[in-house]
Amino acid sequence: MENYLQCQSCGMTFDEQHKQFIAKEKNGSDSIYCTYCYKSGAFIAPNATMQDMIEIAVPHFTRKTGDEEAARKYMTEVVSGLSRWTAKGKTYEYDAVIQSSDIGKGGAYVVFPYNIREEFGKGRVQVHATFDGEPYVGSIVNICRRP
Give the interface with Zn ion as residue ranges (CB under 5 A): 7, 9-10, 12, 34, 37
Could you tell me the smallest distance in angstroms from the CB atom of residue 69 to Zn ion?
A: 23
- 65 versus 83: smaller Cβ distance to Zn ion: 83
Of 80, 82, 88, 65, nearest in space to 128 by CA: 80
Say what angle helices 68-80 and 50-65 make with each other, to 10 degrees: 140
The nearest distance, CB 121 to Zn ion, in angstroms, is 31
- Residue whose CB is less far from Zn ion, 7 or 50: 7
Rounded-to-integer distance, Cα 20 and Cα 90, Å: 31
Q: How far apart are CA 70 and CA 58, in angstroms?
A: 9
What is the nearest approach in angstroms of Zn ion to the Cβ of residue 8? 8
Closer to Zn ion by CB, 4 or 109: give it: 4
